[in-house]
Structure 1
Amino acid sequence: MSSGKNSFSKKYVLPILYPIKKTFSKAKLWTGIKTGLVKTVMIQPYKGFGNSQEIYLLGRVLRDRGIGISNLEDSRWRNFKKMYKRFMSWEIPNVKVKASFQGLEQEVITDEEGYFEINMKSNTPFEINQPWQEVELTLLDRIVKNQGEVKVVGKVFIPSGNVEYGVISDIDDTIVPTGATRLWEMLKTTFLGNAHTRLPFAGVAEFYKAMEKGTDGIESNPFFYVSSSPWNIYDFLTEFLEVHGIPKGPLMLRDIGLSREQFIAGSHSAHKLLQVEKIFEVEKQLQFILVGDSGQEDPEIYLQAIKDFPGRVKKVFIRHVAPEREKSVQKIAEEMETLGVELLLVKDTIEAAEKALEKGWILQADVGVILKGKEEDGNY
């Protein structure tokens, strides 16, 4: 769609469609509650992050559809049904959620899609005895009959101890092959697979664990994952990281669907840049290694982040998955170099690990572990 047509649609079509969608969603939820289709509700917290005096956490209030975890032997049909439930969500708008953390409390109201945002700041430093801290989240409104207490614990990562650097990584075609540039391949992979059957690129888990340990051997360097995947598959991606031994960390995803401002989803690059820079703003004491791929716009996004936050990026690794983009990526690399940051276009994980070792960011012993992991995973 041309920019002119897109502008026309947003100006004249969207104001008509959005109220219809909003009315339908409201009627659907009301009917679901009255008929008993919606029997239980849940708070789904997304892992957050913070510093010594601030925490940032997102979450969503939804109908509890009991999706649960996956198993290796799950059929494609079972995987499809679970993914269908994730996307056919029943969001709960305009309800109050209370967050409690180390004597601080904050009440927020969910938006039209059931999302809420917690941003707490303290005048005094928090008591940090471990990196992962718990935030208590409580639903204050009664939604369904016999609801009982709806309470959950959210997790926020607050870097502590000897942190050498942070890592911000893309997911699709950076950690796991998805064919993000090929729509049908991406849809098939997403809807018919599960956390066990989807496999990361060879050696990625070992490389990321090596960076998590850094040079002191302590798993204290934080990881953040920024992706244009929808929040609907948050639990799927969290389980994927856990199943394959990839360091856990906050996932910054995006909302999709019709809203006041958009038809399907917001700009891929605008979303990712916003999330990367949000991490920079909160984790202001850290420098970062950025990891992405050449298939979409990661090089352009990271270049802009470097311009906006000088001195915060140590290195950029870009997995070479789109040969047709090689020249444009190299041009971006030249511009990054003038800003004091090296972009390395790598063909595989081993090349990235060797460069990280050369820079003194990981241990020599871990390179052997990465090589072994790559051989065991296969050459893909």
Structure 2
Amino acid sequence: MIFRILTFPIRYTFSKVKRAVGKLDTIQLEPLFAFGNSSEVYFKARVVEGYKQSIPSEKKSASRNMLAAIRRYSGSSVPDIKVRVKLGGQEVLVVSDGEGIVEGYFNCPSTGEVEEKMSFNFVQEEDVKFQSEEVRFSVTRYKTEHPFGVISDIDDTILISKATQVGEKLWLSVSKNAYTRRPFPGISKFYKKLSNNGENPIFYVSSSDWNLNEMIKDFLNYRDIPKGPLLLQDLHVNLKNIWKSGGGSHAHKGEKIDFLFDLYPNMQFILIGDSGQHDPELYAEAIKKHPGRVKAVYIRLIREMDEERKKLLDAHTDRIAIAYVKNTEEAIEHAEYHKFLN
């Protein structure tokens, strides 16, 4: 995070200089999410120099996956690009920030359409070439009347990542792709039961950076794990600091959890994480901040927790189902006992 802050002026200036001398590559817009409730929709996208995305395959070697990772992380975010975003007859003009991020929200009641679309249109500029002038993206709205929602971590919760071991984590990140990364056994079964065929929304909150957005979506799809909005970290990770992906401060996860509780004020949530990093502390804080809103907490024990960390959650066992599980089957048994699964 400190590296990111210190190098921001250099990265920002470099992008501006490339643009000024006409060396900026064709740029593209990558939608990240567009979701909300019956009256509000929040969106996020990023503007980057165009690069060819690699198609995942079980047959690709580690070297080919590493080349794909290099392409993914060598792409540059592009600041100061104007984008018009439209939804339901409304329009906002946003400008990409120093990390290429475009974000905002619409106060826009649902039209009741089967498929609601948001459009992103680049504002034409002489010194910029666009891969596509317009990008359309589906909007997902969740009603607050859902029985409950799920907020889940990704690394070492559903995806085997070795997040606490920097060397192994980095090797997994660059040597494998969405089809060869492995989930924990039983995750698809557990999350499908929790979602009840989409009746209960699942939100994925992770410290992974946005460069991994497509990989995570492909992984969820390939492993038949229910889809849901990805809320990743706004950390510009490139070839120089790729090892930081998934690390650094995890405060943003708490902020995104608070955001979801506020966006769906009548919804209870089941929180799922692991013991490797800061999930127990973050979830204990969420319980205190949002009394009566947390239905259950599941912590996967990828390493033993000391008693001080456990006490943070155990203080709430009189009114909240707390489970420390060594495998997914234990989580399923606990959820069935408490009638969270259909």
Tell me the TM-score normalised to structure 2 length. Answer: 0.90
Q: Is the Cα contact below 8 Å between 1:291 and 1:318 reproduced in 2?
A: yes
Distance of 1:221 and 1:192 partners within structure 2: 34
Distance of 1:165 and 1:334 partners within structure 2: 22
User: What SS class does the counterpart of residue 316 from structure 2 fall into?
Assistant: helix
Of residues 92, 97, 117, the one that matches 2:83 is 97
1:279-294 counterparts in 2 under 5 A?
Answer: 279-294=260-275
Of residues 269, 285, 302, the one that matches 1:304 is 285
Q: Over aligned residues, Cα RMSD in angstroms?
A: 2.5
Of residues 132, 136, 151, the one that matches 1:168 is 151
1:140 aligns with 2:130: no
1:57-72 counterparts in 2 under 5 A?
Answer: 57-72=43-58
Q: Is the Cα contact below 8 Å between 2:203 and 2:228 reproduced in 1?
A: yes
1:250 to partner: Cα distance:
0.7
2:183 aligned residue? 200
2:69 aligned residue? 83
1:7-86 counterparts in 2 under 5 A?
Answer: 17-30=7-20, 33-34=22-23, 38=25, 40-86=26-72
In structure 1, what residue type is equivalent to 2:283?
Answer: Y
Of residues 210, 226, 239, the one that matches 1:231 is 210
* Percent identical residues: 35
Q: Is the Cα contact below 8 Å between 1:95 and 1:141 reproduced in 2?
A: no
Q: Is the Cα contact below 8 Å between 1:333 and 1:342 reproduced in 2?
A: no
Of residues 226, 234, 243, the one that matches 2:222 is 243
1:134 to partner: Cα distance:
2.1
User: What SS class does the counterpart of residue 268 from structure 1 fall into?
Assistant: coil
1:46 to partner: Cα distance:
0.7
User: What SS class does the counterpart of residue 152 from structure 1 fall into?
Assistant: strand
Deviates most, 342-351 or 135-144: 135-144
Q: What runs of 5+ residues in structure 1 fail to find an aligned partner?
A: 1-5, 259-263, 364-380
The count of corresponding residues between Structure 1 and Structure 2 is 335
Q: What runs of 5+ residues in structure 2 fail to find an aligned partner?
A: 238-243
Distance of 2:310 and 2:129 partners within structure 1: 60
Q: Is the Cα contact below 8 Å between 1:58 and 1:117 reproduced in 2?
A: yes
Distance of 1:146 and 1:183 partners within structure 2: 38
1:27 to partner: Cα distance:
2.6
Distance 1:275 1:355, change over 3 A: same
2:240 aligned residue? none
Distance 1:14 1:79, change over 3 A: closer
Distance of 1:145 and 1:99 partners within structure 2: 19
Larger Rg: 1
Deviates most, 278-287 or 105-114: 278-287
Distance of 2:133 and 2:232 partners within structure 1: 24
2:105 aligned residue? 119
Distance of 1:42 and 1:146 partners within structure 2: 9
1:125-181 C-alpha deviation (Å, 9 max, x unpaired): 312345x63211111133656647521122332124972211110000000111100
1:317 aligned residue? 298
Q: Is the Cα contact below 8 Å between 2:28 and 2:49 reproduced in 1?
A: yes
Deviates most, 40-49 or 158-167: 158-167
Distance of 2:58 and 2:48 partners within structure 1: 27
Q: Is the Cα contact below 8 Å between 2:15 and 2:78 reproduced in 1?
A: no
Distance of 1:148 and 1:207 partners within structure 2: 40
Tell me the TM-score normalised to structure 1 length. Answer: 0.81
In structure 2, what residue type is equivalent to 1:81?
Answer: L
1:285 to partner: Cα distance:
2.6
User: What SS class does the counterpart of residue 45 from structure 1 fall into?
Assistant: strand
